[in-house]
Structure 1
Amino acid sequence: MNQTYFVGVDVGTSSVRASVVSDTGKRCSSFTQEIRIWNPCTDFYQQSSENIWEMVSYAVQKSISDAQVLPENIKGIGFDATCSMVVLDEDFQPLTVSPHGDHSQNVILWMDHRAKNEVEVINATGHSVLNAVGGIMSLEMQPPKLMWLKKNLPETWKKANHFFDLPDFLSWRATSSLTRGMCSVVCKWSYSAVTQSAMGWDESFFKQIGLEELAHDDFSKIGKDIQTPGSAVGSGLSPQAAQELGLLPGTPVGTSLIDAHAGALGCLGCCPANLKDLPNLENRLVLIAGTSTCHIICSNQSVFVPGVWGPFLSAVLPDMWVNEGGQSSSGSLLDFVTSNHPAFVDAQKKAIERGLHIFDYLNEHIQKMAEKQNNHATYITQDFHVWPDFHGNRAPVADPNLRGMVLGLSLSATVDDLPILYLATIQALAYGTRHIISEMEKHGLKISLVYLCGGLRKNALYVQTHADVLGQPVVLPDADDPVLLGAAMLGAQAYKTKGNLRDVMTAMGGGGICLHPDNSVARFHKKKYTVFLEMLKDQMKYRDLMSS
């Protein structure tokens, strides 16, 4: 009997990845293809939907070829992507989002911060839709970007007939169906989902922010047919998309997820072999740590946490609520602080000579420094502290104007100084996660286990530091890439005729390993976390002084 396979596609910030996964969750192949990013001016980040789909097609074909699986044995496909915004005209052709008018650039990337004035206008309204985003809308959401387009690119706005979140664009491109995923619309577009019986767009909100025309034809430009994750989209792959992807027409397509939420789905079914008791689903937090970091928890109850996004109904699993914290810069922050240090070139050269990634080299160097001092490696940052919000704070302060802080600088810039800055930054990111969890628990959520996936799961020091700072066990799933696994699960759910997405998640979730905190450094981290919170107070104080 032929085995059943599914394809998962993940469109990240700078690359497309595709994977063929068996019905047991085993990855059979994976292929990565870079996509283009334009940065025409400060805070503007743009992409091309045509470039993205071309790379998706290539990656899927290569992944199928590498897996040596016949297209007829692939029974479903699922997509996830960053929460970027795609703009098309009535003929589904790209419309420019660029201040320089390049029509191929029709995607505003999630990390684009052009709409600072617009988001301030939205937050000043105090509208009730803001309750579901911690009381403050983020620059990374779509309403402020829509406002910016209307104000600054009137020709694009006039011609625009379809605004998609990137995950939904991929589903449309695959099926020609205009349905939207609940995940995208509730998390990024202000779609209201208070209860199963009270869901929909709030026309008063769009009218208040000057976008009342979007209400035309039952909000068709931004989505009037909303489906829960994994629901079958349209009639499956269209003939054109099937040919482009190397699959069969009609292959089921699962309703998409934002990339972080696909990572949560791919993690939550994991059952570590070395963990005696797996906590209830609503007591598990997932960290999706890459360029940025998302902190996702599913709950059976609707819980509002100031400064934290959500609660969002059915944003990962149907009928469960999601709260989402996040850090706008994590992996990108580590890259920035290390590559801009005077000792980086020397350290990078030594890492290359030994065939090591720069972070692995720094992790090893930290251990050697600690051995010389006859001390725990954690303590080398005793007098060095970092506030990590170089790109603003997503949660729980929810302030895009916060900036990074470093305390402990000297005139020394040796290869021994770089690891101290690097470790202090890792610790600061972990303290940021602790800050988010603290606010979640203060308002009723309870977390007793943390899953960690994304690119930073490969960094052993990052992982162990989070376990130590949080005082919680951290699980690393066996799945090579839970984000891609989560996308494949969406395809599996679209193919299934019985059961629900939670059943698919459990069947394909696999195992993992559980890392426990080193309690010997708990007191040190408690003190540094206090310093961390004081740095926030100091920055606020300085801001007040300068604005008075």
Structure 2
Amino acid sequence: MASDLDIPYRPKHYYIGVDVGTGSARALIIDDEGNSIASAAKTIGEWQPQPGMHEQSVSEIWGSICYAVKEALLQGDVQPESVRSIAFAATCSLALFTHDTDEPVAAGGSESADKNHNVILWMDQRAMSETEAINKTQHELLKYFGGSLSVLMELPKILWLKHHMPEAEFRRCKFYDLHDAVTFIATGNQHFPCTKMCAQDALPIGVDGTAKGWNRDFLEAVQLGILADEDFKRVGGVCRHGRAPSAGTSAGNLSEKSARDLGLHADVVVAVGTIDSYSGWVGTAGLNFDSQQNSPLHSRMAVIAGTSACYIVASRSPVFAKGIWGPYKDWVLPGYWMSEGGQVATGMLLQHVIEVHPAYDAALKLANGSGSSIYNFLDKHLEKMRSKSGALDISYLGRNYFYYGDLYGNRSPIADPSMTGTVVGLTGDKSIDNLAIQYYGVLEFLALQLRHVISAMNENGTEIKSRVISGSVSNNANLARLIATSCDMPVITPRQAGSSTCFGAAILAATASTKTLTGDTDLWSVMHNLGQHGDVRYPEKGTLLKSLLEVKYIIYLEQCERQRVFRDMIEKAVSYHQD
């Protein structure tokens, strides 16, 4: 029998994934078996100079990243020399620098004096008129965005800056996706080399309406031809042909300065990162779970639900649908087309509805006193209400409450930013009981709208049969139950559901450790080999909840449609007098 001394020693290697979210930067360290070792986070500030405008600072973001990485190293007792690679995921936000001196540029254009506020946050809605102007071109490439660009995308924001900056200042700008800006700071690598993909005739589509990935014809049609001038020097994260390298390839090594900032060594490989939602897909699509043989990759939808929600699926062929962004070929995984739906607000919607209720302060005080979150408190309160009333199910408590929650417009599947919320069943009740029912009504809406999105996607060619849900909202058991039963599909939740975006970035880092820009390392194999384990919740059959949700889905669709009908009726009445 071999002793421990006979077993050859293999040193542990570690990989770091960083997620730059809306309100914080988080770092996660995993080992070469996919085990999570330690994580840490640091908040990020935000400025709102005007209603609808949201700005951040790259320098503050970098400071928060450095704090989180060093704190995670400390908590995990991980030595810097054992870290092989790092990757960054971030919100789909726009970062501004000068292309000649790499100085930050104020995100407010000529109306802003603070150049350190050089990020236009993803949720910023300043570019409404620019979005309308781009969509009026009816350019054929708009089909890759469900028929129209969203005001949340970067391209309309760049056009807004063109309209609000002196021409000479605008010409000096270089535009980065936020994750590319952080990667640039980490490496100091201004340019990516060309790859064999550059021999193709056409550029891939600019994923999620970002600054990169567009051909000159489209850019000129939307008054942004300058982005393609001089070998795309005004677009960060691309080669001279305007192409971005694949996520999980190497962007270079840490610069000496960045290595010191992060508490790491300069031989650490920096992977090409991605938008946070796609990093969440990388972190969850490779989950290991019971009956996974019945859920091939193309049938798994990744639901990344936090402040907002993104729904991503990798298809074997291109799928076009109204209100669905994509398909984007080879964006993350070679040979697959990525399609993406979403909700503008999930966690943000729950927070809003709870906080404006008259009973919120009393409920929060009770929640704090019991050591639980407001959401856990309300879940327990609903069960107490059910038990006290003798109801068969908590869904019975809100049977006559019908909530439609597009308070911030609709992204998918109807792509209508003018959509708002509607409620049937309001009363004068100001109690905690009523707060709990309104909270449950929002959960129902989120589940029903996800069913609406999946139905639209599957009707147009996707093959979604299960959902992997992650993010800060994913630990809500009532929401998981509602989603599974409403959509009539299993819901798989990672056992570390809140860290999927960080975990996905760490997988990209691990891939880059053995992959060069022209390498052949299989990202899917790394995703599967390092994948977490997930727990499966199956849909209910023949229960009261199922019956109520079937009826409520019909009512949900009616609420969605009637709101638009009512607006048209009002518009006709107003236009009659204006004419």
TM-score (norm 2): 0.90
Structure 2 equivalent of residue 19 of structure 1? 28
Q: CA RMSD in A?
A: 1.8
Any conservation in 2 of the 1:96–1:156 contact (CA below 8 Å)? no
* TM alignment of 1:134-173, pairs within 5 A: 134-154=146-166, 157-158=169-170, 160-173=172-185
Look up the SS of the partner of 2:182 in the other structure.
Answer: helix
Q: Does residue 1:483 correspond to 2:505, yes or no?
A: no
Letter in 2 for 1:218: D
Structure 2 equivalent of residue 215 of structure 1? 228
| Contiguous gaps of at least 5 residues in structure 1 | 192-199
- How many residue pairs get aligned? The number is 538
Shift of 1:457: 1.2
Structure 2 equivalent of residue 194 of structure 1? none
* TM alignment of 1:170-185, pairs within 5 A: 170-178=182-190, 185=206
Structure 1 equivalent of residue 139 of structure 2? 127
1:339 corresponds to which of 352, 355, 379:
355
Q: Does residue 1:540 correspond to 2:537, yes or no?
A: no
Shift of 1:102: 2.0
Please list the CA deviations of residues 284-316 of structure 1 after superposition, one character each: whole Å capped at 9, or x if unmatched.
Answer: 001000000000001121111121000012233
Structure 2 equivalent of residue 500 of structure 1? 522
Shift of 1:276: 6.0
Structure 1 equivalent of residue 105 of structure 2? 95
Q: Does residue 1:189 correspond to 2:210, yes or no?
A: yes
Any conservation in 2 of the 1:267–1:453 contact (CA below 8 Å)? yes
Find the aligned partners of 2:61 and 2:503 in 1 and give their Cα distance. Answer: 20
Structure 1 equivalent of residue 309 of structure 2? 293
Find the aligned partners of 1:547 and 1:66 in 2 and give their Cα distance. Answer: 59
Shift of 1:409: 0.9
Shift of 1:250: 2.8
Structure 2 equivalent of residue 85 of structure 1? 94
* TM alignment of 1:297-336, pairs within 5 A: 297-336=313-352
Letter in 2 for 1:174: A
Shift of 1:463: 1.5
Shift of 1:241: 1.0
Find the aligned partners of 1:401 and 1:289 in 2 and give their Cα distance. Answer: 22
Find the aligned partners of 2:140 and 2:232 in 1 and give their Cα distance. Answer: 19
Please list the CA deviations of residues 250-305 of structure 1 after superposition, one character each: whole Å capped at 9, or x if unmatched.
Answer: 31111111111111111011111x33634110000010000000000011211111
Find the aligned partners of 1:65 and 1:366 in 2 and give their Cα distance. Answer: 41
Find the aligned partners of 1:447 and 1:162 in 2 and give their Cα distance. Answer: 39
Shift of 1:381: 1.7
Find the aligned partners of 2:154 and 2:248 in 1 and give their Cα distance. Answer: 23
Any conservation in 2 of the 1:472–1:516 contact (CA below 8 Å)? yes
Find the aligned partners of 1:8 and 1:368 in 2 and give their Cα distance. Answer: 41
Structure 1 equivalent of residue 128 of structure 2? 116
Shift of 1:155: 6.3
Structure 2 equivalent of residue 72 of structure 1? 81
1:352 corresponds to which of 359, 364, 368:
368
Q: Does residue 1:453 correspond to 2:474, yes or no?
A: no
Q: Residues 135 and 157 from structure 1, CA distance in 2 versus in 1: closer, same or farther, beyond 3 angstroms?
A: farther
Find the aligned partners of 1:487 and 1:276 in 2 and give their Cα distance. Answer: 23
Please list the CA deviations of residues 186-222 of structure 1 after superposition, one character each: whole Å capped at 9, or x if unmatched.
Answer: 232275xxxxxxxx53212221222222221122211
Q: Does residue 1:404 correspond to 2:404, yes or no?
A: no
Q: Does residue 1:227 correspond to 2:245, yes or no?
A: yes
Please list the CA deviations of residues 449-475 of structure 1 after superposition, one character each: whole Å capped at 9, or x if unmatched.
Answer: 110100011211122111121111100
Q: Does residue 1:202 correspond to 2:207, yes or no?
A: no
Find the aligned partners of 2:67 and 2:462 in 1 and give their Cα distance. Answer: 42
Look up the SS of the partner of 2:293 in the other structure.
Answer: coil
Pick which of 119-128 and 180-189 moved more.
Answer: 180-189
Shift of 1:83: 0.4
Any conservation in 2 of the 1:175–1:236 contact (CA below 8 Å)? yes
Letter in 2 for 1:187: D
Please list the CA deviations of residues 53-110 of structure 1 after superposition, one character each: whole Å capped at 9, or x if unmatched.
Answer: 1111111111112111111111111110000000001211111112343221110000
Structure 1 equivalent of residue 257 of structure 2? 240
Any conservation in 2 of the 1:149–1:157 contact (CA below 8 Å)? no
Q: Residues 325 and 276 from structure 1, CA distance in 2 versus in 1: closer, same or farther, beyond 3 angstroms?
A: closer
Find the aligned partners of 2:407 and 2:488 in 1 and give their Cα distance. Answer: 26
Any conservation in 1 of the 2:107–2:115 contact (CA below 8 Å)? yes
Q: Does residue 1:282 correspond to 2:304, yes or no?
A: no
**Bigger Cα Rg:** 2
Shift of 1:158: 2.6
Q: Does residue 1:392 correspond to 2:409, yes or no?
A: yes
Structure 1 equivalent of residue 395 of structure 2? 378
Find the aligned partners of 1:334 and 1:128 in 2 and give their Cα distance. Answer: 37
2:485 corresponds to which of 463, 468, 471:
468
Find the aligned partners of 2:533 and 2:188 in 1 and give their Cα distance. Answer: 37
Please list the CA deviations of residues 15-66 of structure 1 after superposition, one character each: whole Å capped at 9, or x if unmatched.
Answer: 0000111111111100010000111221100000110011111111111121
Structure 1 equivalent of residue 548 of structure 2? 524
Q: Residues 27 and 537 from structure 1, CA distance in 2 versus in 1: closer, same or farther, beyond 3 angstroms?
A: same
Any conservation in 2 of the 1:384–1:424 contact (CA below 8 Å)? yes
Q: Residues 305 and 184 from structure 1, CA distance in 2 versus in 1: closer, same or farther, beyond 3 angstroms?
A: closer
Letter in 2 for 1:279: S
Find the aligned partners of 1:184 and 1:82 in 2 and give their Cα distance. Answer: 18
Structure 2 equivalent of residue 195 of structure 1? none
Structure 2 equivalent of residue 196 of structure 1? none
Any conservation in 2 of the 1:168–1:179 contact (CA below 8 Å)? no
Any conservation in 1 of the 2:404–2:559 contact (CA below 8 Å)? yes
> Identity rate of aligned residues, in percent?
34
Q: Residues 444 and 276 from structure 1, CA distance in 2 versus in 1: closer, same or farther, beyond 3 angstroms?
A: closer
Letter in 1 for 2:11: N
Letter in 2 for 1:513: D
Find the aligned partners of 2:84 and 2:205 in 1 and give their Cα distance. Answer: 24
Structure 2 equivalent of residue 197 of structure 1? none
Any conservation in 2 of the 1:94–1:106 contact (CA below 8 Å)? yes
Letter in 2 for 1:189: T
Please list the CA deviations of residues 153-197 of structure 1 after superposition, one character each: whole Å capped at 9, or x if unmatched.
Answer: 336843533100101111111112235899994232275xxxxxx
Q: Residues 404 and 178 from structure 1, CA distance in 2 versus in 1: closer, same or farther, beyond 3 angstroms?
A: farther
Q: Does residue 1:363 correspond to 2:379, yes or no?
A: yes
TM-score (norm 1): 0.95
| Contiguous gaps of at least 5 residues in structure 2 | 1-9, 194-202, 573-579
Find the aligned partners of 1:301 and 1:415 in 2 and give their Cα distance. Answer: 49
Pick which of 364-373 and 496-505 moved more.
Answer: 496-505
Any conservation in 2 of the 1:229–1:318 contact (CA below 8 Å)? no
